[in-house]
Amino acid sequence: MTVRASWNGKTLAESDRTILVEGNQYFPPQDLVPGVLEASDTHSHCPWKGDASYHHVVVDGKRNPDAAWYYPEPFEAAEPVRDYVAFWHGVDVEGANEGQPEVRPPGR
């Protein structure tokens, strides 16, 4: 089944190759709709995934600040989601992949 992310009535990403991590669907970069993400200066740290970088989601001139994130240089445990993008802050993510890969923190 295809997983779709949308905000403000516009599809941001659509894929049957997402990876599930802690309840979040991570989309391969090639399955993102061009032009809906804008770079952000925001960063955060996860003790097992590494440092995340953020994007603003922009649709029809409206901006959802820091609503997407990704790991450009993840720690080894999160290597499968390198550069994959996940969404939050009101972005709707629907669907699931049968047999979908899941990345879990070490020891879980």
Task: Please indicate, yes or no, if residue 44 is contained in any of the structural domains.
Answer: yes
**Token pair belonging to 36:** 């809906």
pLDDT at 101: 78
Q: Is the pLDDT of residue 107 over 80?
A: no
Alpha-carbon distance values, 53 to 2, 18, 19, 44 (Å): 25, 18, 18, 7
pLDDT at 108: 64
pLDDT at 63: 98
Between 52 and 97, the more confident residue is 52
**81: buried, middle or exposed (CB in 10 Å: 19+, 13-18, 0-12)?**
buried
What's the structural domain count of the chain?
Answer: 1
Q: Is the pLDDT of residue 1 over 90?
A: no
Q: Is 106 helix (H, G, I), strand (E, B) or coil?
A: coil
pTM of the model: 0.94
Q: Is 29 helix (H, G, I), strand (E, B) or coil?
A: helix
pLDDT (tens digit, 9 = 90+) per residue, 33-87?
999 999 999 999 999 999 999 999 999 999 999 999 999 999 999 999 999 999 9
Q: Is the pLDDT of residue 7 over 70?
A: yes
18: domain range? 3-103
Task: Please indicate, yes or no, if residue 108 is contained in any of the structural domains.
Answer: no
Beta-bridged to residue 102, according to DSSP, are 20
| CATH label of the domain that carries residue 78 | 2.170.150.40
Q: What is the mean pLDDT of residues 83-95?
A: 97
**Token pair belonging to 1:** 């089944």
pLDDT at 96: 77
Task: Please indicate, yes or no, if residue 83 is contained in any of the structural domains.
Answer: yes
Pairing of strands 19-21, 37-46: unpaired
